[in-house]
Structure 1
């Protein structure tokens, strides 16, 4: 590469939500703009008049194409097809115009609607795709509502997606486990998400509180966690449980009523802009997801010195948690085993401290400097190839 700063464009729907994808993108973009001097532009399609949730460096340019695909949520099925095709044409035209104007060295898609046409835009940039979920659950997040039609469509969608991914210069997934799932492709690289904060404070593990973090959706398995908690709360009267995240909590409150869970010791909290503070005021982290792309909250909790208990779900936990060393891996979906593991760690202070020490050592491989170097090598390799 010459001395000119690398010019990178990220394509993603929005940055006004407190989601994991938004957080990771903001973190990486800020780092590359501030530490490497990269010329970063983020192109959005949604939330034209909404404030960004996570702070963004003044050195980063944000362009909102104002496509508003979110309008599709309120359309009937028949109208949805018409509106989608119309908006997709507008998106393709506007994104093409911006890329031809910017002439980036690298364009990165977070595998949303632009993946259908990105590689046909001849702006001279290398095209990279980033997947933040795992293959089995891409475009099928609400799997509890799956039906025959959705399953047929999902297979059609995956076949189409693979054909587009083959034309990318590189396709980045988060785990080695998910990399192995894309056997049709020879351009797949795994790079995990980076830790969102420095490892500078550690929980003393004195506050007998379990913490869980994530959106209140089926994927995160908080219904399973509450069922496990109901099996241990009476045996551990000095412990409490706190869940933090966005979303509708009404179904979980109803489940707590049905399970007769003590609301003074089990708290369904909203999102917080200082999740690190909450980790530091806890002594144990539980990860109850049915599936994941990575499980960033696992490494955040470990960076604060928390021992972790996690379902061994696809994908992420087995890349992060070393069973009975820095945490405990539980058979995916097993409420009984989850409750048993919670009970074991809640009652064994020495084990909690030993796992905490291991977690603090292991989590260094996810620090931003380490992850950024892997991305840097990928960028340099991509732009050097004809």
Structure 2
């Protein structure tokens, strides 16, 4: 099968990472893959490793509408069987470029279909997401929660979780550090709920003097605020802001507990990554999305968003009950295998095959 994956711009981000992962996985499965973006192979490799067999086609180096004409030439030349647009803007450009070419177009969306209450709403992205998505052959969403919101709005909607960006650990590491890890950009601390984690930890930390909270991530403005909060709560030696880590996998595999404290989270790939390395996970559940990952208490703990007391209680339970923590680490690690590139790739192939048959 000839599959074209289109991404308007390459940067460090969740959707971009997934785009490259899908290209790599489809290539490993024996398909002919075209990856269209604004960068060449060397530039993409600076961000993400990409398979040699994936054909890189730089195409978004012009301004609108020249980029549409350039993309149309590329589509006509390569004649793919199916085109996957990664995120709404990429799919919209694809739709315009492919008018009259009778191509199967999939919009692969990587955020919640509810407005992020902590960011401004802009009209054009809103129209792309909620209205233009209705014209494509299929829209993939990350969770069943999002599926229920949009299933009646679009031609066809499929739940397609993101694939893991790291291989699950071969076995669960023992003798981990008594570390409660969180990760994310500090400048969006409010969305990530790092203040909630710090306040929850302040309620119980005196009982656990040999444990620390460590937040991995960078962002100068956010760092200043969080350092102020840490000082206010007298937690200078109990909460560490350790900055950006190139290999976060090592931190997952060496931490007893991982916490996703977000006020808003469309999916939470970092949660599955932590599970894949054997960390016992606690997640603030945003409207049921994280409960689709942590399916029951044997795989981890889900608590209400913005509830410091509930998060503090979950931390205490996970720290004090070592037997339970070991069970969660084992079952969470097993659960993460449902999100490997092989598994997600099989789901994609089923969908692509069905769409081809309908044509």
Structure 1 position 333 matched with structure 2 position 326: no
Q: Which residue does the alignment assign to 1:215?
A: 185
1:126-151 Cα deviation digits (max 9, x unpaired):
100111111013xx5xx4354xxx4x
Structure-1 separation of matches of 2:344 and 2:295: 20
Count of aligned pairs: 350
Structure-1 separation of matches of 2:109 and 2:200: 31
Q: Which residue does the alignment assign to 2:206?
A: 234
Structure 1 position 184 matched with structure 2 position 131: no
1:303-346 Cα deviation digits (max 9, x unpaired):
22222111111463010113421111101111121112112211
- Inter-CA distance 157–301: structure 2 relative to 1 (3 Å threshold): closer
Structure-1 separation of matches of 2:7 and 2:241: 30
Deviation at 1:12, TM superposition (A): 1.7
Which of 195, 206, 213 is the equivalent residue of 2:176?
Answer: 206
For the residue of structure 1 that corresponds to 2:302, the secondary structure is: strand
Deviation at 1:214, TM superposition (A): 2.2
- Inter-CA distance 50–329: structure 2 relative to 1 (3 Å threshold): same
- Inter-CA distance 224–67: structure 2 relative to 1 (3 Å threshold): farther
Structure-2 separation of matches of 1:66 and 1:118: 11
Instruction: Trace 1:336-351 onto structure 2 (pairs within 5 A).
Output: 336-351=309-324
Does 359-368 or 280-289 show the bigger shift? 359-368
- Inter-CA distance 222–240: structure 2 relative to 1 (3 Å threshold): same
Structure-1 separation of matches of 2:162 and 2:343: 10
Q: Which residue does the alignment assign to 1:38?
A: 31
TM-score in terms of structure 1 length: 0.83
CA contact (8 A) 2:135 2:154 kept: no
Structure-1 separation of matches of 2:157 and 2:145: 12
| Structure 2 residues without counterparts, runs of 5 or longer | none
Structure-2 separation of matches of 1:44 and 1:163: 24
Q: Which residue does the alignment assign to 1:90?
A: 66
Deviation at 1:235, TM superposition (A): 2.3
CA contact (8 A) 1:179 1:189 kept: yes
Structure-2 separation of matches of 1:145 and 1:363: 30
Does 279-288 or 19-28 show the bigger shift? 19-28
Q: Which residue does the alignment assign to 1:75?
A: none
Q: Which residue does the alignment assign to 2:162?
A: 193
Structure-1 separation of matches of 2:226 and 2:196: 10
Structure-2 separation of matches of 1:250 and 1:57: 40
1:224-247 Cα deviation digits (max 9, x unpaired):
222222222222110012222343
Instruction: Trace 1:1-386 onto structure 2 (pairs within 5 A).
Output: 6-17=1-12, 19-33=13-27, 35-45=28-38, 50=43, 52-67=46-61, 87-120=63-96, 121=98, 122-137=100-115, 140=116, 143-144=117-118, 146=120, 150=121, 153-154=122-123, 158-159=126-127, 161-182=129-150, 183-199=152-168, 200-204=170-174, 206-216=176-186, 217=188, 218-248=190-220, 249-262=223-236, 264-314=237-287, 316-386=289-359
For the residue of structure 2 that corresponds to 1:95, the secondary structure is: helix
Structure-2 separation of matches of 1:24 and 1:344: 34
CA contact (8 A) 1:210 1:285 kept: yes
Deviation at 1:160, TM superposition (A): 5.4
CA contact (8 A) 2:23 2:33 kept: yes
Structure-1 separation of matches of 2:337 and 2:119: 39
Deviation at 1:113, TM superposition (A): 2.2
For the residue of structure 1 that corresponds to 2:51, the secondary structure is: coil
Structure-2 separation of matches of 1:367 and 1:168: 27
CA contact (8 A) 2:6 2:94 kept: no
- Inter-CA distance 211–161: structure 2 relative to 1 (3 Å threshold): closer
TM-score in terms of structure 2 length: 0.89
- Inter-CA distance 277–145: structure 2 relative to 1 (3 Å threshold): closer
- Inter-CA distance 92–291: structure 2 relative to 1 (3 Å threshold): same
CA contact (8 A) 1:104 1:123 kept: no
Deviation at 1:108, TM superposition (A): 1.0
Structure-2 separation of matches of 1:349 and 1:268: 26
